[in-house]
Structure 1
Amino acid sequence: MQLSIRHETIYRYSAPQAYAIQQLHLTPRAEPQQHVLHWQLNAPGSLSAYTDAYGNLSHMLTLSRPHEHLAIVAHGMVETFTPPQGRIAGKDSLPPLVYTVSTRLTQPTAGITELAQACLPDGSARTKHLMRLAEHIFGAVKYQSGATEVNTTASDALRMGIGVCQDHAHIFLACCHVQGIPARYVSGYIDPGNTDHAASHAWVDAWVRDRDYEGWVSIDVTHARLMTDAYCRIAIGRDYEAAAPVRGVRHGGGDESLSVNVQIIPQ
C-alpha cells in the first residue's frame, strides 16, 4: 500500500517567545516493512538531523529568534507492506532486554500484575499469548478520545477504564515487563479507514518465542490485531516520552495552545 501522509503541528503563544528547542520524531523509520518514496520536513529555525539511541531518524529543531507561533509540517509518501504474522524484520540498535525495563509511564501496580499473570506466561510468550493480552486490554479500557493526557500512566488508564492508543500501548508494555518479556512502544500513523480513531497512532512490538520464530511481532492493542500495511512506523522507544513526535522546551511565550492535524490518504 502507498500512504500519502501530512502531519501539521502548530504552537501559538500569548506573548513572544524568545527561544525554543524541540526533538522531532517525524521521519519514517528505515525498515523492510516500509519504503519512503519521498519525505519532507519543514520548520523555521535550525534543523539538525541525527539517529537516536533507538535507531530512530530524528531532528533537533532550534529557534532562537522571537516568535508568536511555530509551525512544523512533515509530509510525503510511504510504501508499506504487511509483515507475515506481524513479524518485524530489520536490524536493531539495542538488544531486546533493554525493553524489559519499566518507565515512569509503565510502572507495574497490583492491577497490572494481575492482568499480566492472567494472560502471559513468565519469561517468554507466544504470539497467541500476546494477542490474548491485547484483547483483554481492548475490553478493559474503552477507547475515548481526549480521555487522558500524555503523562497518564498505564496503571491510571487501567483503573479509569478509558483511554487512547497511547494508554493501551503503555498497559501492554507494563504487563509484558512484569513477566520479563521484552516489549517496546511504537509511534506512527495508521490509515483509520471508517473508524473514529486518529490517524496518528501508537502500538507495540513484543518479543515472541513461537515454535517456528523468535523475534519481534508488532501488535495494535487498540484494535487487538497484528500490524498490516495500513501502518507507517515513525519511532520506537520504551514509552511515549522516548518516541513522541514532538517534544521540547521553550523560554518565554506566555500561555501556549497546540493544534495538530494529520491526514492519511491511501493510494
Structure 2
Amino acid sequence: MILTIRHETVYRYTAPLAYTIQQLRLSPRSEPQQRCLAWQITTAGKLHAFTDAFGNLGHMLTITGPHDEVRIEVEGVVDVSSPERGRLQDQNGLSPLLFTTPTPLTAPTANIRDFAAHYLPGTRLPTLDGVQSVRSDDLLKLADAICAAVAYQGGATVVTTSADDALLLGRGVCQDHAHLFLACCRAHHIAARYVSGYIDPGSSAHAESHAWIDAWVDDDDFCGWVSIDVTHACFLNDSYCRLALGRDYDSAAPVRGVRRGGGDEKLEVHVSVASSPSVQ
C-alpha cells in the first residue's frame, strides 16, 4: 500500500520566544515492511539529523531570535507491506530485555497487576534470560480487554497520564491503550515496546496520528516481535507507517522540546493519511 502523509504541527504563543529547541521523531523508520519513497520536513530554524539509541531517525530543531510561532510541516510517501500476523523482521539488534523495564508511564501497579492476571496466562518457561514467553493470540485477548476497560475518548487524558490513571478513569486514547498494554506486559516480564506513527483510518473516527505496541511472542511457528494495534485489537497491516519506537511515549514522541519565553501556548495539529495500491 502507498500511504501519502501530511502532518502539520503549529505552536502559537501569546508573547515572543527567545529560543526554542525541539526533538523531532517525524521520519519513518527504515524497516523491511516499509520503504520511504519521499519525505520532507519543513520548518524555520536549523535541523540537525541524529539516530537515537532505539534506531529512530530524529532531528534536533533549534530556533533563535524573537518568534511567536513554531510551525513544523511534514509530508511524504511511504510504500508499506502487510506482515503476516504482524510479525516483524527486526533488524536493529536490540535485546528484548531492554523493553521489560517499567517506566513512570507504564508502572505495573497493584490495580494493573490484578487486571493483567485475568487476561495473561501464568508464567511459562522464558524464551530469553528473564523474558517470559507469551502467544500472540493471548495478547490480542488482552488488547480486547483493554479496549473494553478504557473507552476511546479524545481529550480525556494528556501525554503525562499514566497507564494506572487511564485504567482508573476508564477513558483515553491510543496512547493510553498502548501504555496500559505495556504495563500489563511488564507486570508479567513480557518484552513490549511503544510505537508511534500514522494510520490510514479508513472509516474509523480515530486520528491518523497513532500509537500502538510491539510485543515479543513465542508462537509454535514464530519467535520474535509482533506488532499489535491495541486500540483496534488487530495485528499491524499495510495501513500503518512506523515513525519511532521506545519504552513509552516519552522516548518515542513525535515532537518534544523546551522554550525560553512565550507566555501561554496553543497547539494545533493537522494530519491526513491517504492510501492507494502499490505499483508492482
The equivalent of 1:145 in structure 2 is 154
1:259 to 264, 268, 271: 268
- State the SS of the aligned residue for 1:157: helix
What does residue range 59-78 of structure 1 map to in structure 2 within 5 Å?
59-78=59-78
More displaced stretch, 97-106 vs 108-117: 108-117
In the alignment, what sits opposite 2:235? 226
The CA distance in 2 between the partners of 1:74 and 1:95, in whole Å, is: 31
Q: How does 1:125-136 map to 2 (within 5 A)?
A: 125-136=134-145
- 2:90–2:225 Cα contact (<8 Å) kept: no
Q: Aligned-pair distance for 1:159? A: 0.7
What whole-Å deviation, never above 9, does each CA across 1:155-210 have from its counterpart, x for those lacking one?
Answer: 00001111000000000000000101000000000001111100000000000001
Q: CA deviation at 1:91?
A: 0.8
Aligned partner of residue 64 in structure 1, secondary structure: strand
* Partner SS state of residue 119, structure 1: coil
3-state DSSP class of the match of 1:65? strand
Count of aligned pairs between the two proteins: 267
Q: Which amino acid aligns with 2:168?
A: R
Question: Does the Cα contact within 8 Å between 1:54 and 1:93 map onto a contact in 2?
Answer: no
2:88 aligned residue: 88
Give 1:235's aligned residue. Answer: 244
Equivalent in the alignment of 1:244: 253
1:186 aligns with 2:195: yes
- Judge conservation of contact 1:55–1:93 (CA < 8 Å) in 2: no
1:111 aligns with 2:137: no
1:42–1:74 Cα contact (<8 Å) kept = yes
Q: What's the counterpart of residue 171 of structure 2?
A: 162
DSSP 3-state at the match of 1:97:
helix
Percent identical pairs in the alignment equals 58
Hey, what's the Cα distance between the residues in 2 that align with 1:47 and 1:65? 16
Question: How far is the alpha carbon of 1:117 from its aligned partner?
Answer: 1.5
Aligned to 1:120: 120
Cα RMSD between the aligned structures? 0.8
Name the TM-score, length of structure 1 as normaliser: 0.99
> Displaced runs of 4+ in structure 1, greater than 6 A?
none
C-alpha displacement of 1:36? 0.4
CA distance in 1, matches of 2:85, 2:45: 43
Report SS of the residue matched to 1:132. helix
Stretches of structure 2 that go unaligned for 5 or more consecutive residues are 124-131
CA shift at 1:90, angstroms?
2.7
Matching of residues 91-102 of structure 1 within 5 Å? 91-102=91-102
What amino acid maps onto 1:38 in structure 2? A
Q: AA paired with 1:231?
A: Y
1:116, distance to aligned residue in structure 2 (A) = 1.6
The superposition leaves residues 65-92 of structure 1 with CA deviations (integer Å, 9 ceiling, x where unpaired) of: 1101010011000011101111011312
